[in-house]
Amino acid sequence: MKKMKRWKALLFTVAFFSWLGAGTAMAASDTSAVTVTVDVIDLLSVSDATGGITLTGTAGSTALTGTPNTAALLNYTFLGTGTKKITAEATTVPSTTQDITLTVAVTGGAGAKTIVNGGTAAAAQDVYTGISTGALSSKTVTYNASATVSGTEANSHPFTVTFSSVSE
């Protein structure tokens, strides 16, 4: 009987320490991938020169002149390498009888450039240069126009001016 009690005690002890021996493994790992892609940004927007320019003459003079138009705004964002410039070109010239000379300038840019000379479109002109990564915000676009009485009929003469960002 005594021997039976001893064996029971022994078995209990074995069972107890077996339970104590059970535990949790130290560590395990897993991963997630994170990828961030930054694209080149080259975004240009120029609003219309609403209201246009009205050319008028003065008595005794053949010149037609008008008040410059400052209604248009230029906005540009560039993120990339190197530098950019913005060009302006009269891509649509009216077929009406006209000898209009049209200039354009952007605030802070390269100064007034002639894009139409006596009714004929010139090549694209650099109106803003040396643009590095960053933003040009709400830059005023100033149009100026002149013509002659004999060369320009009384009419509406619509031009389309195209602005482009170009790598320098």
Partner 1 sequence: MTAQRVLIFLMVILGAVLISRPVQAVGISATGSWSETINANDLTGGAGSILNSTYESGSSQINIDITGLLALLGWRVDVSKTDGNWNSGMHLYVRRTANGSGLGSISGGTSYQELTGASSTFFNGLGNRSGIKLQFKLDGITMQLPPATYTTTVYYTVIGL
Q: Footprint of partner 1 on this chain (CB under 8 A)?
A: 10, 13-41, 43-45, 74-77, 79-81, 133-138
Residues contacting 11, CB < 8 A, separation 6+: none
Shortest CB 8 distance to partner 1, Å: 13
Closer by beta carbon to partner 1, 30 or else 59: 30
Q: How far is the CB of 107 from partner 1 (least distance, A)?
A: 13
Nearest approach, Cβ of residue 1 and partner 1 (Å): 18
In the complex with partner 1, which residue's Cβ is closer, 36 or 154?
36
Helix (H) or strand (E) holding 21: helix 2-21
User: CA–CA distance from 65 to each of 89, 102, 115, 117, 146 (Å)?
Assistant: 21, 11, 17, 14, 5
CB 9 → partner 1: shortest distance, Å?
A: 10
In the bound state with partner 1, the residue whose beta carbon lies nearer, of 7 and 111, is 7
Q: With contact defined as beta carbons under 8 Å apart, do 40 and 124 qualify?
A: no
Contact at 8 Å (CB) between 132 and 77? Answer: no
Q: Pick the closer one to partner 1 by CB: 142 or 146.
A: 142
Q: Is the dihedral of CA 78, 106, 55, 93 positive or negative?
A: negative
